[in-house]
Amino acid sequence: MISAVLYQGRDGLDACRITGHSGQAESGRDIVCAAVSILGCTCVNAMETVCGIIPEITENDDGVLAFQLPEMNTADNAKAQILMGALKQGLSDLADAYPQYVRLSVKNTTQN
């Protein structure tokens, strides 16, 4: 099972952690795992190349991709939220299409 967690801060989605393997097919043939990987990697890469925002990234061969957005001004955050919204939509679509392989949750990190 792939677990994707998006973290909702005061100014929007500001972090993501994707862990696990779907088990939908053998390694190298798993379309669900490939789709989730592409969504996460594209979001991180576009943050840097399109928006000029450098997230703090954790990635390893054990099926972990995590990133945290840095503190940024309002204009940069608006750009980042577009990409984070696209990531959320893509992961939600995959979780709906493959509920036995992908679980998405959003955790609120603001203190009331």
Domains and CATH numbers, the chain: 2-108 (3.30.70.1490)
Summarised one tens digit per residue, pLDDT across range 70-79 is 999 999 999 9
pLDDT of residue 112: 59
Give me the DSSP letters along the chain: -EEEEEEEETTEEEEEEEES---SSSTTS-HHHHHHHHHHHHHHHHHHHTT----EEEEETTTEEEEEPPP--HHHHHHHHHHHHHHHHHHHHHHHH-TTTEEEEEEE----
* Total-model pTM: 0.93
Summarised one tens digit per residue, pLDDT across range 23-41 is 888 888 999 999 999 999 9
